[in-house]
Amino acid sequence: MVDFQLAPEQEILRQTLAEFARERVRPAARAADEAGAIDPQLVREGWELGLISAPVAEWMAGETSTRSALTGAIAAEELAWGDLAIALRMLVSSLLTLPLIEMGTDAQRRALLPRFAGQNPALASAAVVEARFDYSPGELQTRARRIDDGFVLDGKKCLVPAVEGAELILVYAASEEDAGRRRHDAFIVPADSAGVARRRERNMGLKALETYELTFDGVRVEASGRLGGERAVNYPRLISQWRAGLAAMAVGVARAAFEYARDYARERKAFGAPIATKQAVAFMLADMAIEVDASRLLAWETAWRLDRGQDAAVESELMRRYVANATLQVTDSAVQVLGGHGYIREHPVELWLRNARGFCAFEGLTMV
Amino acid sequence: MKILVPIKRVPDPATTIRVLADGSGIATDNVKWVINPFDEIAVEEALRVKEKQPASEVVVVAVGEPAWQEQLRTALAMGADRAVLVRISPPVDTGAVARILARVAADEKPDLIILGKQAIDDDSNQIGQMLAELLGWPQATFASKVELADGRCTVVREVDGGLETLSFPLPGVITTDLRLNEPRYASLPGIMKARKKELKEIPVETLGLNLAPLLKVRRLASPSKRQAGRKVASAAELVSLLHSEAKVL
């Protein structure tokens, strides 16, 4: 029933993106972090591989979609192994395109998808997270009020990536319908809509990625702007997909940190022997390896269920809790294995620790 | 224009190689396998010809075990049109590979064969030359620039002390040097399309060739560890050590 053998094309994809991450993404990571900006040429190189356009082009060609959450998880892990900020920047438009392909109405898909089909796709983003201590994607405070010809959005979002230059933002909000019964929806909002205000955030990690706080103050959205139209979306599935993508990226960051610490420990000598031969370090490395694999298994389980059209609400909840903590632990251990070297910016582990810290914040507290 | 590109499966250059204790080969557990980097350059060059002459066909061919399909599929994902795997079990020496490739070339009748100047595992640097000889075709090895026009191929090669330019009428054989090009990454659509492309397997027995090896690998050994350097007090001591210990003077 369970099969961990990747399909040949998944294996080629993994190897190709691993190579791309090793040769192009990783070498650019430190400079991007220091500069607080990512070289647009590098992002275009990622797009030329078809990261955004491939599933869109498939839909336009009327082909059966070969897209799968598992394949997406494999790609996300490899790119994030190179660098989390750059990976997110390359993939950000898919936060709109993938839900659109799967859950949009035909009219929405025909109107919006073509501009994401080329090698220089339009930019889109998604506004999910809210800066509240009791934030949960199942109880959003951003509200969509129905009016005659559409909706009015009010609320505040944070950690919205790459808003600068984005044409469209997929805004997750609670809408009230049917005698006050609450449900959740996603709305396709032009970034330049009246009533949308933005403020760039200054974060502990992900410095290379611009993230924004977005305020929606009476923003009007046409009726056709609700993803999925009257049928709306399968919201739990949408959230599970979002979480699976993030978790796969967290696995990539954790794996990067583990591999770096392992290789360092094999080279670095203390008291005449590589520190990897010392139990205190060896045990730590073993724990890190276990956490990376366990995290990947949880991420793959959620993706596997999604690919079979099964509900993954529980699995994705367990996954995000575990993976966020494990990634933080692994990246922290990597800094520890490197000792004093781990704390200075000449090694990447401090950058990975800062980036990993976010996984506990992207989706509310890991304590709840 | 039909271009045949022979490729070899080799350990990833980033992998640490461990020689088996009995010296019979290398440990293959946990080894990542890739297309020989020089052959990848050959695939890229063939694809660039196809981009200029869209009617061209690029056929990749490998001589090896079923697992070699992976590397053929990767070449298909980069953009090659179809693949041929001649199935054979090791050990296979360079002469046998050249004879098999010559037979495949006789069947496929390509205008041009492009392959790496050597494989990074055994560094033999023989297949291209042997293949040209068996086919009776002209050859240009270590190509750093390739141009095709009017049924002729012009190749620039890096030689000691400068550049040499060769020109020959097609068909012919080219082996690639490192600086010829920078191979592309397979794209996502390319990877998906590769699934539907033809990958033909030919059991080597059906070719009826005499493949008795002329070459036998007797033993593999790891290079000896480099000794740490030593500081000497004076030039006189250095000269004396070079004479008495290193015995180079």
Both tokens of B244, joined, read 């008495």
Q: How many CB atoms lie within 10 A of CB B29?
A: 5
Q: Is the residue at B248 inside a domain?
A: no
Task: Provide ipTM, 2 decimals.
Answer: 0.83
DSSP β-bridge partners for residue B22: none
Q: Is the residue at B82 inside a domain?
A: yes
What is the tens place of the pLDDT at every residue in B50-107? 999 999 999 999 999 999 999 999 999 999 999 999 999 988 999 999 999 999 999 9
pLDDT band, residue A365 (cuts 50/70/90): very low
Q: Which domains does chain A have, with CATH numbers?
A: 8-121 (1.10.540.10), 125-231 (2.40.110.10), 235-360 (1.20.140.10)
Q: Is the residue at B104 inside a domain?
A: yes
Q: Is the residue at B238 inside a domain?
A: no
Question: Cα-Cα-Cα-Cα dihedral of B239, B240, B246, B249, to 10°?
Answer: 60
| Torsion sign over Cα B182, B186, B189, B190 | positive
Report chain A residues whose CB lies below 8 A from the CB of B34.
15
The reported pTM is 0.89
Instruction: Choose the closest CB to A54 out of B14, B70, B188.
Output: B188
What is the tens place of the pLDDT at every residue in A143-152? 999 998 899 9
Both tokens of A69, joined, read 């959450």
Alpha carbon separation from B18 to A168, B11, B15, B155 (Å, rounded): 52, 11, 9, 38
Q: Are A16 and B191 in contact (CB < 8 Å)?
A: yes
Instruction: Choose the closest CB to A12 out of B32, B77, B189.
Output: B77
Q: Are B187 and A49 in contact (CB < 8 Å)?
A: yes
Q: Is the residue at B230 inside a domain?
A: no
- What's the average model confidence in pLDDT over A165-189? 86
Q: Is the residue at B200 inside a domain?
A: yes
pLDDT band, residue A225 (cuts 50/70/90): very high
Residue closest to A106 by CA, chosen among A150, A142, A60, A67: A60
What is the tens place of the pLDDT at every residue in A248-307? 999 999 999 999 999 999 999 999 999 999 999 999 999 999 999 999 999 999 999 999
pLDDT band, residue B14 (cuts 50/70/90): confident
User: How many domains would you assign to chain B?
Assistant: 1
Residue type, A173: A
What is the tens place of the pLDDT at every residue in B165-202? 999 999 999 999 999 999 999 999 999 899 899 999 99
Both tokens of A181, joined, read 């019964």
**Where in the sequence is the domain holding B157, given as residue range(s)?**
2-222
Residue A2 contacts by C-beta under 8 Å, 6 or more apart in sequence?
A: none
Both tokens of A146, joined, read 């129905």
CATH of the domain at B193: 3.40.50.620
Determine the pLDDT at residue A18: 96
Both tokens of A341, joined, read 């070297």
Q: Is the residue at B235 inside a domain?
A: no
Q: Is the residue at B241 inside a domain?
A: no
Report chain A residues whose CB lies below 8 A from the CB of B187.
48-50, 54
Q: Scanning every residue of chain B, which has its alpha carbon at the shortest distance from the alpha carbon of A51?
A: B188
Q: Are B188 and A50 in contact (CB < 8 Å)?
A: yes
B residues 10..29 contacting A (CB < 8 A): 14
B192 touches chain A (CB under 8 A): yes
Residue A54 contacts by C-beta under 8 Å, 6 or more apart in sequence?
A: B187, B188, B189, B192
B71 touches chain A (CB under 8 A): no
Residue A222 contacts by C-beta under 8 Å, 6 or more apart in sequence?
A: A149, A150
Q: Is A97 helix (H, G, I), strand (E, B) or coil?
A: helix
